Structure 1
């Protein structure tokens, strides 16, 4: 008999499956990065087409979340996850077996559509089963698992290229997709029971997204998420130009210095995992806001005081990465907390805000300033200040709701 309550998975199993699902996204970017020049040369095309293969992937990734979330609210999480990862496998095979620009671009679109399910449904699966501090702790564990993929993928991709061609990289991605499909089918439980599902219609989807976009309980945490990650993608787009072109690091030195960023995010997630057992979501965000304020000040001051010094750039980067570990899970949980009935749509829209913030941040960093260092020292303090301002508005709004008498 159908029930409004599904048989839950353990926190550890939810985090492991969710983390492996989300990791498909960055894995599919970082794994083939070392092969991109070879792909461009072999296909007889230009660097612009190589960059386009990234752009279409990101666009499909962002937009498909708006579809897979409501689908899972109607059809269930497991079925939709398996369906979308099957598209990912098909896209990977299309690129691996194809030898044309058309195959590369169409396959990357299918891959982007497929991996969109990882972000949206991992968050929905957490919201289906957990709330409050427990949900924050699980989302933090998912983030920790997620950091492993972009950290090891470039090295793994380079190692694969030593034993095979770039086609093998996409066969490895296809294998990972098949592994996820098997894992979801065998180890994951359906967290969204039939009795709780929403009817699938364009009107319902539009109404649910309209509800989320018009409700401050969702929008304010989602904007904090977008702004904080927008800053991250902003400086991520600038760092190669600043560290290599302006400061003068070689490729190896750049790779070593970037370990500061990866190490800070991993350390932040470990610390946030421990802190989530002792601090409320509000206090987790407060810690994150203090860190992002220090990062914004650091970006505004340190590179000006110590021009040409890599640490003057990387210390603020490390502080920002630490802040994301505290802000990300807490604001994601807060945005979804009151929307359990449409957790798929809410999880998808938080993903769109996160990716959209990254697009805006990286675009502004790339085109709105004359120099990379000028963008870093100006845009990052602004992004930090906006993040803090929206978080304060959210706090005032929450107090206002708490003080208002209930409707009768």
Structure 2
């Protein structure tokens, strides 16, 4: 494949993956407005975020094996179509309960873009070539979490919260064209998995019996939970507790995303000198310490918004180092069922993340609630790594193409 073809592939796949963070993050500045407009509670509105993450988790379990059986293009196009329909229905949703159901459908649709993009890279590349392409892909899609709240804030200047879902539907329509024109089928018929539901069940049972794999997947999910606790609580904390407007919130949220994405790119350089096992343990230890500092700042008010933002930035950077390495170490153990393993990994990541959002809502909308779940996610991830995976077992894991295996 020529450099020009690789660049085109990166742009296409990056666009597909970008719809995930846009769907999750773009409406965050509008959460307080949705609460007021639909006359509901902040906890109920945060459950709409949980719905998206639950849809992402369930969708990956279904679409991963499906794409291995029927090819990549059909599940991809069907998923984008579902996302468009759900986005349009959100525009006219009369209650928060309806929004919650539609957000689940959005998540199901977005799962197709995430799973298929990852599968396409694995279809076409391996080893060092896989790592180089994924590095470029991370740079393309890394801007999405930063831009999403800022784009949402910009839309709210001339529209209400429903305008965000109009924009998501329009982006989905563009993706249909991009996918139909720019992405060919990458899984030929002779390489597709056979055996139906029974074969899928056997693959999942084998994965769940691997203690090291399960432990690493849980670590990845708990790091994701810390991230989504921040996502779920930040709009209320920054806007209601510290008085930021919607545009200022977009900038503050973007600063945290910069820390996360910078760390994922720094990971590529660190792996030239250190093992992924060492980076993972260090990242979780630093993230746990920073999370406890964040909790103390939130509880005492010491240092104000600046202290909260600084400690949050360190936690998010630590998560940015943990999230690439835990999945890569896990997936290296099951190359014969890589698609199903990736689907299970993604489902656990977003499933555990989905639990973090309502937990923040139950504890309250203040900075202490958000900080407690963020710190707890990192701390429990470290405990799982040390007690379930265990250092001796972790040292035996042989990473494959781990340098940039983050998403």
TM-score scaled to structure 2, two decimals?
0.79
Q: How far is the alpha carbon of 1:69 from its aligned partner?
A: 0.7
State the partner residue of 1:386.
383
Aligned counterpart for 1:347 among listed residues 321, 342, 347: 342
Aligned counterpart for 2:315 among listed residues 314, 320, 329: 320
Aligned length: 389
State the partner residue of 2:173.
178
Which stretch of structure 1 is more off in the superposition, 301-310 or 254-263?
A: 301-310
Does the 8 A contact of 1:140 with 1:269 survive in 2? Answer: no
CA distance in 2, matches of 1:165, 1:300: 37
**Bigger radius of gyration, 1 or 2?**
1
Which stretch of structure 1 is more off in the superposition, 344-353 or 156-165?
A: 156-165
Does the 8 A contact of 1:35 with 1:161 survive in 2? Answer: yes
State the partner residue of 1:372.
369
Does the 8 A contact of 1:212 with 1:219 survive in 2? Answer: yes
Q: 2:250 matched to 1:250? A: no
CA distance in 1, matches of 2:317, 2:352: 18
Cα deviation, 1:188-245, whole Å, max 9, x if unaligned, reads 2323221111126222221221122223464343233123223333455565677677
State the partner residue of 1:192.
187
Task: Could you list the structure 1 runs, at least 4 aligned residues long, displaced by more than 6 angstroms after superposition.
Answer: 6-9, 240-245
RMSD (CA atoms): 3.8
Does the 8 A contact of 1:218 with 1:335 survive in 2? Answer: yes
Q: 2:62 matched to 1:67? A: yes
Q: How far is the alpha carbon of 1:351 from its aligned partner?
A: 0.7
State the partner residue of 1:27.
22
Does the 8 A contact of 1:84 with 1:114 survive in 2? Answer: yes
State the partner residue of 2:401.
none
Does the 8 A contact of 1:126 with 1:135 survive in 2? Answer: yes
Structure 1: tracts of 5 or more residues without a match = 1-5, 400-408
State the partner residue of 1:337.
332
Q: How far is the alpha carbon of 1:268 from its aligned partner?
A: 1.7
Cα deviation, 1:330-371, whole Å, max 9, x if unaligned, reads 333333335445333222111112112323445666658995
Cα deviation, 1:62-103, whole Å, max 9, x if unaligned, reads 212111111101011122111111111121222235556675
CA distance in 2, matches of 1:192, 1:8: 21
State the partner residue of 1:212.
207
Within 5 Å, which residues of 2 pair with 1:273-312?
273-275=268-270, 278=272, 283-301=275-293, 304=296, 308-309=302-303, 310-312=305-307
Change (3 A) 1:138 1:356: farther
Structure 2: tracts of 5 or more residues without a match = 399-407
TM-score scaled to structure 1, two decimals?
0.79
Q: How far is the alpha carbon of 1:146 from its aligned partner?
A: 3.6
Q: How far is the alpha carbon of 1:115 from its aligned partner?
A: 0.6
The SS at the match of 2:190 is helix
